[in-house]
């Protein structure tokens, strides 16, 4: 193990994390807002029943997207970064070309399977309209996979700007615009499905364009590509099963509701669970930039620096996620009332799943640490175990308890995954995310959360959107003020300085 770097070098790590997290947070925030508006529009326009069909269709096609990537999302990031650092143009080209080609072919085959097997799925779920919905959704799969793989490849060059633009800004924005266009033209829910397909097609084209922009040598025919098939598949093999299992954790409850509950239950549950996933937004924002740094520090043997950075990043993600969780917990009915009275049935489900995501944020990027250091088999074991638990609980609890059983199953699966990966990281590297500095955000959050019920007593604000807007702002300002009042550590101040400098630089560029 190499000696830890000095404070200046560690400060550069913090600065890099802050800049990357700033870009990713912006994109994730915009993407979540656009996604929220799209779900809200669909719920208002078509009601819970038709919206439920849309949710089930998205579930199937996104599951197919995970399978069609064959786990190469991790492989292409890891080996593009490695070969690019070595200046090996032939292997960089070979890795990207092979990953994109193989996954695109797989996506076409799976698209055909969904298209021609949609009748069987509709028969099994006893929902005849599902056949038509799935056939439309199947057309989006090759575009979705192409967009995903090109953007994963771009991240191998340690840039997340283009992935953020394409996947979190442009594509969701186009989906929302197309949904309104087809609605105004008189189309029902199938118009929304076509909007989804068209936005994926544009996203795929943008993905190819930006990948070429990131790495112009990709199309340099003077350097023949060199394929490292064995290395690429050695990483991708276990990760496809891991990604599939992790996806199951998210969507198996929706599938169980589709089989055992009225179709509108899937719509209510989807709104609740998607809103709860906002707690994981901060964790996801750090993932894109932290992953290549994990690989770099581990390769150079700087495990002490990696341990310290892991602890800091985990605390930062927890601090942000705690704010989201407390907002969800204190304003749960108001949040769901925005979608309509029918969706308030998901209040308990939303809080339960949000709590599980908060725990995952406190644990931090344990799965990424294992995957980026050659321990992908442990990630596979963890995700497979949690998926198995989620599957058993979903099909045991949903028939009896509906969306409440689905919420418990999903939350248990999420927590199981994080407990297992934390155990492996602790045993393999000796890393541990928690320390007494976690107490500051907890104390600030609980004190700030008290302002919400107090404000509701003092201020006669209508329920729903205005309540979320007013009391969300009150909570946010209280939380930030208390965090500063309770004191910040040196790494916290360095993070905020770097983040603010990045914001100012982007504002100047925009001006």
Instruction: State yes or no: pLDDT of 142 exceeds 90.
Output: yes
Please write the tens of the pLDDT for every residue from 305-330: 888 888 888 998 899 899 999 999 99
Contacts of the segment 487-490: beta carbons below 8 A, 24+ positions apart:
487/440, 489/437
**Are 258 and 211 part of one and the same domain?**
no
The answer to whether position 243 is within a domain reads no
Instruction: State yes or no: pLDDT of 509 exceeds 60.
Output: no
How much is the pLDDT for 504? 65
Q: Which domain holds residue 320?
A: 248-511
How much is the pLDDT for 511? 45
The answer to whether position 300 is within a domain reads yes
| Residue 1 confidence class, pLDDT cut points 50, 70, 90 | very low
How much is the pLDDT for 19? 64
How much is the pLDDT for 245? 63
| Residue 13 confidence class, pLDDT cut points 50, 70, 90 | low
Total domains present in the chain: 2
Average pLDDT over residues 150-163: 82
pTM, entire model: 0.72
- Highest mean pLDDT among 45-49, 300-304, 475-479 belongs to 475-479
| Residue 508 confidence class, pLDDT cut points 50, 70, 90 | low
The answer to whether position 1 is within a domain reads no
Question: 110 or 241: which carries more pLDDT confidence?
Answer: 110
Please write the tens of the pLDDT for every residue from 402-425: 889 999 999 999 999 999 999 999
The residue out of 157, 192, 227 marking a domain boundary is: 227
**Are 114 and 252 part of one and the same domain?**
no
Could you tell me if 151 and 13 are in contact, meaning their C-beta atoms sit under 8 angstroms apart? no
The answer to whether position 222 is within a domain reads yes
How much is the pLDDT for 208? 93
**Are 212 and 284 part of one and the same domain?**
no
Average pLDDT over residues 495-504: 70
d(CA 190, CA 332): 31
How much is the pLDDT for 241? 62
How much is the pLDDT for 281? 80
**Are 395 and 493 part of one and the same domain?**
yes
**Are 164 and 309 part of one and the same domain?**
no
How much is the pLDDT for 348? 92
The answer to whether position 22 is within a domain reads no
| Alpha-carbon distances of 226 from 92, 223, 234, rounded to whole Å | 8, 9, 17
**Are 325 and 420 part of one and the same domain?**
yes
d(CA 91, CA 225): 6
Could you tell me if 149 and 73 are in contact, meaning their C-beta atoms sit under 8 angstroms apart? yes
User: How many other C-beta atoms can be found within 10 angstroms of the C-beta atom of residue 300?
Assistant: 12
How much is the pLDDT for 6? 47
**Are 128 and 254 part of one and the same domain?**
no
Instruction: State yes or no: pLDDT of 9 exceeds 70.
Output: no
d(CA 305, CA 182): 52
Q: Residue 270's closest CA among 340, 352, 349?
A: 349
Please write the tens of the pLDDT for every residue from 214-227: 888 888 888 888 88
In the DSSP assignment, the letter for residue 3 is P
Report the percent of the chain where pLDDT is more than 90.
Answer: 25
In the DSSP assignment, the letter for residue 18 is H
Please write the tens of the pLDDT for every residue from 226-275: 887 777 777 666 666 666 666 666 667 777 887 777 767 877 888 888 88
Could you tell me if 460 and 417 are in contact, meaning their C-beta atoms sit under 8 angstroms apart? no
What is the average pLDDT score of the chain? 83
**Are 45 and 163 part of one and the same domain?**
yes
The answer to whether position 25 is within a domain reads no
The answer to whether position 339 is within a domain reads yes
How much is the pLDDT for 116? 92
d(CA 508, CA 505): 5
Average pLDDT over residues 113-117: 91
The sign one gets for the Cα dihedral 107, 110, 116, 117 is negative
In the DSSP assignment, the letter for residue 217 is G
- Torsion angle, alpha carbons of 269, 270, 276, 277, to 10: 150
How much is the pLDDT for 345? 86
In order, the DSSP letters of 108-176 are HHHHHHHHHHHHHHHHHHT-THHHHHHHHHHTTHHHHHHHHHHHHHHHTTT--HHHIIIIIIIHHHHHH
How much is the pLDDT for 355? 95
Please write the tens of the pLDDT for every residue from 434-450: 988 899 999 999 999 99
Could you tell me if 369 and 429 are in contact, meaning their C-beta atoms sit under 8 angstroms apart? yes
How much is the pLDDT for 242? 63
Average pLDDT over residues 62-82: 80
The answer to whether position 23 is within a domain reads no
Kindly report the CA angle at 336 between 478 and 164, in degrees rounded to 5? 70
């Amino acid at each position: 193990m190499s000696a830890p770097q000095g404070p200046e070098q560690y400060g550069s790590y913090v600065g890099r994390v802050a800049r990357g997290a700033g870009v990713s947070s912006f994109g994730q925030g915009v993407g979540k807002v656009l996604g929220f508006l799209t779900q809200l529009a669909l719920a208002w326009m078509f009601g819970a029943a038709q919206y439920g069909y849309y949710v089930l269709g998205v579930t199937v096609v996104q599951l197919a997207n995970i399978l069609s990537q064959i786990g190469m999302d991790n492989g292409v990031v890891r080996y593009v970064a490695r070969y690019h650092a070595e200046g090996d143009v032939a292997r960089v080209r070979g890795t990207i070309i092979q990953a994109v080609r193989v996954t695109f072919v797989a996506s076409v085959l799976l698209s055909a399977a969904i298209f021609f097997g949609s009748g069987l799925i509709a028969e099994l779920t006893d929902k005849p309209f599902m056949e038509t919905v799935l056939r439309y959704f199947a057309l989006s799969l090759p575009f979705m996979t192409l967009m995903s793989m090109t953007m994963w490849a771009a991240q191998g060059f340690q840039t997340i700007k283009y992935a953020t633009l394409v996947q979190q800004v442009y594509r969701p924005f186009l989906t929302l615009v197309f949904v309104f266009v087809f609605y105004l033209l008189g189309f029902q829910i199938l118009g929304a499905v076509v909007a989804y397909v068209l936005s994926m097609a544009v996203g795929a084209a943008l993905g190819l364009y930006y990948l070429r922009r990131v790495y112009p040598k990709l199309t340099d025919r003077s350097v023949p590509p060199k394929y490292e098939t064995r290395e690429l598949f050695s990483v991708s093999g276990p990760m496809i099963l891991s990604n599939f299992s992790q996806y199951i954790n998210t969507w198996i409850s929706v599938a169980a509701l589709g089989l055992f509950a009225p179709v509108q239950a899937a719509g209510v549950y989807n709104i609740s669970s998607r809103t709860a996933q906002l707690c994981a937004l901060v964790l996801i924002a750090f993932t894109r930039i932290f992953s290549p740094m994990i690989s770099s520090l581990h390769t150079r043997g700087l495990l002490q620096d990696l341990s310290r950075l892991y602890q800091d990043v985990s605390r930062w993600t927890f601090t942000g996620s705690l704010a989201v969780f407390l907002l969800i917990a204190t304003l749960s009915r108001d949040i769901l009332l925005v979608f309509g009275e029918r969706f308030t049935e998901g209040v308990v489900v939303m809080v339960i799943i949000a709590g599980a995501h908060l725990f995952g944020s406190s644990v931090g990027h344990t799965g990424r640490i294992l995957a980026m250091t050659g321990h992908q088999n442990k990630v596979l074991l963890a995700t497979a175990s949690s998926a198995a638990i989620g599957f058993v609980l979903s099909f045991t609890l949903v028939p009896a308890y509906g969306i409440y059983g689905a919420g418990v199953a999903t939350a248990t699966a999420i927590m199981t995954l994080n407990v297992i990966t934390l155990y492996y990281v602790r045993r393999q590297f000796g890393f541990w995310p928690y320390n007494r500095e976690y107490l500051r955000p907890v104390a600030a959050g609980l004190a700030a959360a008290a302002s919400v019920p107090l404000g509701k007593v003092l201020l006669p604000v209508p329920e729903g959107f205005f309540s979320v807007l007013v009391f969300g702002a009150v909570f946010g300002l209280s939380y930030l003020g208390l965090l500063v009042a309770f004191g910040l550590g040196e790494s916290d101040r360095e993070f905020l300085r770097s983040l603010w400098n990045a914001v100012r630089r982007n504002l100047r560029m925009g001006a």
